[in-house]
Amino acid sequence: MAIVSPNTASSTSTSGTGQSYGAALATVTTLFFMWGFLTCLNDILVPHLKSIFDLNYTRVMLIQFAFFGAYFIFSIPSAKIIDSIGYQRSMVVGLLTMGVGAFLFVPAASVPSYPLFLGALIVLAAGITCLQVAANPYVTVLGRPETASSRLNLTQAFNSLGTFLAPFFGGLFILTAARKIEEIRALSPADLQAYRLHEAATVKMPYVGLGITLVLLAIAIGSFKLPKIEHAEHHRGERVNDSIWKHPNLVFGAIAIFVYVGAEVSIGSFLVNYFSQPEIGGLTEKVAASFVAFYWGGAMVGRFIGSALLQKVKTGTLLGICTICAAALVMISMLTSGHFAMYSIILVGFFNSIMFPSIFTLGVAELGPLTGDGSGILIMAIVGGAIIPVAQGWFADRIGIHHAFFLPVICYLYILFFALSGSMPNSKRYAKTSETQG
């Protein structure tokens, strides 16, 4: 896939009016909401399946490994699909694939089988990957280049609205009154199978409902006339005398996306179990799930505020400030206990808010016709959400869930480097070198 840089995007729509872009932006924003909602439901599946299948932290984090690992596998094929059938049809394909993944939860729960759950999540994530590869760069070129970062933060705010609502939905329809692990292990094989069938069945109705919603949304998106951005279309046979690997801001940005998604997903995945710890909150899983919503809700509020601030504040500067605050809050939670530790980790979500859209915008800056290829690399880096949570699960099994949060702190320190130095595009990097030599 190849699209031009946001720096060369025109502010006129195909019809010559800003209103056409506004309608298109609103339509695409619904996709951001849906994949945010479905992604955050994983935070509810983690404690739910952990209890059903008596998994340790390392094995249960395979949920995130399977889901976010799909980004690595399907990002480049998704770009090829977009080259072949365009943005709009690719969005429809992504939604239908997500619908299939949601429906696959029914046979997974009917067995019940942990590997089948992981398989359903991979299919679901494959569809989301297709949406991500198409929608993120599409939003950056759907308007004036000066407001690309602000615009992407605004659409990502609705993504966070989905992540905010998902824990309430999951807590209400999926998490039931959990039994203590000692009681589960004491069950006879027949009773254990009956227990697993009963508990696994709670995911059927929610995911069937979501599957139907995704199919209806695919029909709606397919029927809507999204404007074609001619300068953002792939031109086959076009030769570009440049390489994405010659742009340090993209390379450093891909690593920043990797560690950011890893940190955000790691924290979110452990919150229910973290809040259930006697020394932290002592909450039941169902009550803890409602508090997870505030972590993602903070990201939603932060993105709305960030969208406004980025009209006046440089993206790198605001990214650096938010990164310092996030790292400090995680460290405070690690060094304290009780509700103070609980609320400090929840507040991290607010400062996570602008990170993904800001890193993405800085990463594709000045790539010109290579912007699409750069977008594919950045989306592929979301695989960090598969690897880092598993690593944190490994540490949690050995040093405890409380202190395993040191891993996200390391991730935030790298993002700080990216914000202050690594995000500098070649034009500024060369100008700075010339000034130094002069």
**What whole-number distance in Å separates Cα of residue 174 and Cα of residue 207?**
10
Q: Quick one: average pLDDT of 29-45? A: 88
Does the structure show a pLDDT above 70 at 18? Answer: no
The predicted structure's pLDDT at residue 438:
54
Token pair for residue 15?
């019809």
In a domain, 7, yes or no: no
Which residues lie closer than 8 Å to 378 by C-beta, 6 or more apart?
136, 250, 253, 254, 257, 359, 360, 363, 364
Does the structure show a pLDDT above 70 at 64? Answer: yes
The predicted structure's pLDDT at residue 241:
63
Helix H or strand E segment including 57: helix 57-60
Which domain CATH number covers 161? Answer: 1.20.1250.20
**What whole-number distance in Å separates Cα of residue 379 and Cα of residue 81?**
15
In a domain, 237, yes or no: no
Helix H or strand E segment including 170: helix 148-173
Return the minimum-mean-pLDDT range out of 183-187, 201-205, 380-384. 183-187
**What whole-number distance in Å separates Cα of residue 77 and Cα of residue 253?**
21
Does the structure show a pLDDT above 50 at 6? Answer: no
Does the structure show a pLDDT above 50 at 12? Answer: no
In a domain, 188, yes or no: yes
The predicted structure's pLDDT at residue 181:
61
Does the structure show a pLDDT above 90 at 343? Answer: yes
The predicted structure's pLDDT at residue 3:
38
Tell me how many domains the chain contains: 1
**What whole-number distance in Å separates Cα of residue 255 and Cα of residue 258?**
5
Who wins on pLDDT, 430 or 257?
A: 257
Does the structure show a pLDDT above 50 at 428? Answer: yes
Asked whether the beta carbons of 78 and 382 are under 8 A apart, the reply is: no
Taking 3-state DSSP, the helix, strand and coil percentages for the chain, each rounded to the nearest 5, stand at 80, 0, 20
The predicted structure's pLDDT at residue 126:
95
The predicted structure's pLDDT at residue 7:
39
If 0-12 CB within 10 Å is exposed, 13-18 middle and 19+ buried, where does residue 49 land?
A: buried
Residue 195's closest CA among 177, 168, 208? Answer: 177
Q: Quick one: average pLDDT of 335-345? A: 93
In single-letter form, the type of residue at position 399 comes to I
In a domain, 4, yes or no: no
Q: Quick one: average pLDDT of 143-148? A: 70
Question: DSSP per residue over 177-220, as a string?
Answer: -PPPHHHHHTS-HHHHHHHHHHHHGGGHHHHHHHHHHHHHHHHH
Percent of the chain having pLDDT more than 90? 36
In a domain, 44, yes or no: yes
Over the stretch 222-269, which tens digit does the pLDDT of each residue have? 888 777 655 545 555 555 566 778 888 899 999 999 999 999 989 988
Asked whether the beta carbons of 49 and 170 are under 8 A apart, the reply is: no
Which residues lie closer than 8 Å to 77 by C-beta, 6 or more apart?
none
Which residues lie closer than 8 Å to 65 by C-beta, 6 or more apart?
386, 387, 389, 390
Q: Domain range spanning residue 22?
A: 14-231+243-437
In a domain, 5, yes or no: no
**What whole-number distance in Å separates Cα of residue 63 and Cα of residue 57?**
11
Does the structure show a pLDDT above 60 at 156? Answer: yes
The predicted structure's pLDDT at residue 9:
37
Who wins on pLDDT, 180 or 98?
A: 98
In a domain, 2, yes or no: no
The predicted structure's pLDDT at residue 98:
96
In the block, tokens 């500024």 appear at: 428
Q: What is the mean pLDDT of the chain?
A: 83
In a domain, 201, yes or no: yes
